[in-house]
Chains A and B, each alone.
Chain A
Amino acid sequence: MSDEEQDIVLAELSDEELTLQMHDDLYDGLKEEIEEGVNILLGRGWQPYDVLTKALVEGMRVVGIDFRDGILFVPEVLLAANAMKGGMAILKPLLAATGAPRMGRMVIGTVKGDIHDIGKNLVTMMMEGAGFEVHDLGINNPVENYLEALAEQETDILGMSALLTTTMPYMKVVIDTMIEQGIRDEYVVMVGGAPLNEEFAKAIGADAYCRDAAVAVETATDFMTRKHNQMSA
């Protein structure tokens, strides 16, 4: 960061300048600056939902694009995510209290035998940023965990993640169990993780393969839009 940039006082920026600066700060993974920016915008009377979408989600969208294009790599994305997490921690309680739009509910977890959660955590955060309520089951989930969580509350989407070639077949176990229990068609099943691909997702009977968090949000949003259109038709 240059000396000129270090001299920026966030509180002195206009709303538009501050929003753009927060996009830059997210890109650079500056958590404290993001937390400060969120508090400044809230102090100026911004709705929490507007802070989330215009400052944080838009900033992460740029991070996602540059990750996909090979300009940013995993460490930079994690730093950006960590910064966004700081902002989300402030906004989350306020979002519920102010009646922010709710897109749908998702249950997500890493499958049995797998402890990798970086991608899943990114998806969780981006889905929450897009207005989804997410029940994150964490890592190493047997099929029972998924089914219990789906049954707990009305849920629209099941997300499963795996990093290992050896654990990704377990996704089929979950889907097959859902078929056996006659509940498969009640949910949209999205899968993701480094060794997965479109062919695998189709072969196991998932509805969508999501190669990154941004695609997961796009896919989930698209499914929910179609669902709402079908219900209102």
Chain B
Amino acid sequence: MANQPSGVPVDDTTLTEQGLNAPAAPAAGRVLLLACGALAREVLALKAANGWDHMDLTCLPANLHLYPEKITNAVEAAVHKHRASYDDIYVLYADCGTGGLLKAKCAELGVEMLQGPHCYSFFEGNANFAAHDDEITAFYLTDFLVRQFDAFVWKPMGLDRHPELLSMYFGNYTKLVYQAQIEDPTLKIQAEACAERLGLAFEYRFTGYGDLKDALASKAASDRAG
């Protein structure tokens, strides 16, 4: 697991494969944000922009999403690991394919977690996302997933070795929606290239940080009040 940089952007490959360590010596009364590695940059950006200095960040490897059945146990282990060092732990995962098991585990552990089914939903806003009845054939990418497209999509699906599998995976999809957290023309071009590789139409949708920002702001407000 990578050590936490101070304001330095984190390497995406490290976030995918190893995650991010919490600071070595947290001060008393601090809050730990226990996040998916795919959210590291976004959480660090929100922390910096809002001055949430009482929150530390640690991330589990983002590639746990390739095996969602492992997420709940990994989060539980991390909560136990850090519990003694922090007054409060906030789990920055949505359901993420755990079928409700992560929610149940967080309730059992007495820690809060994000609302919603997955990051595609909370970046867009869970209410807005749920209203997309017409998007069942959409495949979503976030900033992180555009940057890590090969590591998350192309290689794990074996498309680098067996491109003939493309139609089995994506035959029912019609478009790729790039949900942008920041405005970055380079990422937009990369996302468009991803759509082309998958044989899908491309749609750009700026979301910003969506419900992630609101959830952290609420947390910060309740910390101040408490």
| Residues of A participating in the B interface, judged by any CB pair closer than 8 Å | 29, 73-76, 78-79, 82, 113-118, 121, 139-140, 164-166, 168, 194-197, 200
With known contacts A75-B162, A78-B168, A200-B100, A113–B157 Cβ distance under 8 A: no
Question: Are B168 and A118 neighbours in the complex by a CB distance under 8 Å?
Answer: yes
Question: Are B161 and A200 neighbours in the complex by a CB distance under 8 Å?
Answer: no
How close is A83's CB to chain B, nearest CB, in angstroms?
12
**A75, A121, A197 pick with most chain B CB within 10 angstroms:** A75
From B68, B158, B162, B172, contact of A195 by CB (8 A):
B68
How close is A168's CB to chain B, nearest CB, in angstroms?
7
Chain A hits for B99, CB < 8 A: 165, 168, 195-197, 200
Question: Are B172 and A116 neighbours in the complex by a CB distance under 8 Å?
Answer: yes
Chain B hits for A29, CB < 8 A: 162
Taken together as a complex, chains A and B put the C-alpha atoms of A168 and B95 apart, in Å, by: 13
Query: At the interface, yes or no: B97 with Cβ under 8 Å from chain A?
Result: yes
Query: At the interface, yes or no: B128 with Cβ under 8 Å from chain A?
Result: no
Question: Are A79 and B97 neighbours in the complex by a CB distance under 8 Å?
Answer: no
With known contacts A79-B162, A82-B168, A200-B99, A165–B117 Cβ distance under 8 A: yes
Q: Nearest CB to that of A168 among chain B residues?
A: B99
How close is B108's CB to chain A, nearest CB, in angstroms?
14
How close is B226's CB to chain A, nearest CB, in angstroms?
31
Taken together as a complex, chains A and B put the C-alpha atoms of A207 and B152 apart, in Å, by: 34
Q: Nearest CB to that of A193 among chain B residues?
A: B99
Question: Are B117 and A166 neighbours in the complex by a CB distance under 8 Å?
Answer: yes
How close is A124's CB to chain B, nearest CB, in angstroms?
13
Query: At the interface, yes or no: B173 with Cβ under 8 Å from chain A?
Result: yes
Would you list the 3 A-B pairs with minimal beta carbon distance, nearest first? A75-B158, A195-B99, A115-B172
Q: Which of B166-210 contact A (CB under 8 A)?
A: 168-169, 172-173
From A78, A140, A196, A200, contact of B136 by CB (8 A):
A140
Chain B hits for A168, CB < 8 A: 99
Q: Which of B97-150 contact A (CB under 8 A)?
A: 97-101, 117-118, 121, 130, 133, 136-137
How close is A120's CB to chain B, nearest CB, in angstroms?
11
Chain A hits for B156, CB < 8 A: 73-74
Question: Are B173 and A115 neighbours in the complex by a CB distance under 8 Å?
Answer: yes
Chain A hits for B98, CB < 8 A: 165, 195
**B97, B99, B121 pick with most chain A CB within 10 angstroms:** B99
Question: Are A165 and B168 neighbours in the complex by a CB distance under 8 Å?
Answer: no
Query: At the interface, yes or no: B77 with Cβ under 8 Å from chain A?
Result: no
Chain B hits for A115, CB < 8 A: 136-137, 172-173
Chain B hits for A75, CB < 8 A: 157-159, 161-162, 165
Question: Are A117 and B172 neighbours in the complex by a CB distance under 8 Å?
Answer: yes
Chain A hits for B158, CB < 8 A: 73-76, 78-79
Q: A165-B100, A165-B117 are in contact. List 16 more A-B contacts (CB 8 A).
A: A29-B162, A74-B157, A74-B158, A75-B157, A75-B162, A76-B158, A113-B136, A140-B136, A164-B117, A165-B97, A166-B117, A195-B97, A196-B99, A197-B101, A200-B99, A200-B100
Q: Nearest CB to that of A76 among chain B residues?
A: B158
Question: Are B95 and A165 neighbours in the complex by a CB distance under 8 Å?
Answer: yes
How close is B142's CB to chain A, nearest CB, in angstroms?
17
Chain A hits for B137, CB < 8 A: 115
Chain B hits for A200, CB < 8 A: 99-100
**B117, B137, B168 pick with most chain A CB within 10 angstroms:** B168
16 A-B pairs (CB sep. < 8 Å): A29-B162, A73-B156, A74-B156, A75-B162, A76-B158, A78-B158, A79-B162, A113-B136, A115-B172, A116-B172, A118-B168, A139-B172, A165-B117, A166-B121, A195-B95, A195-B97
Chain A hits for B161, CB < 8 A: 75
Q: Nearest CB to that of A211 among chain B residues?
A: B69
From A79, A114, A117, A121, contact of B165 by CB (8 A):
A79
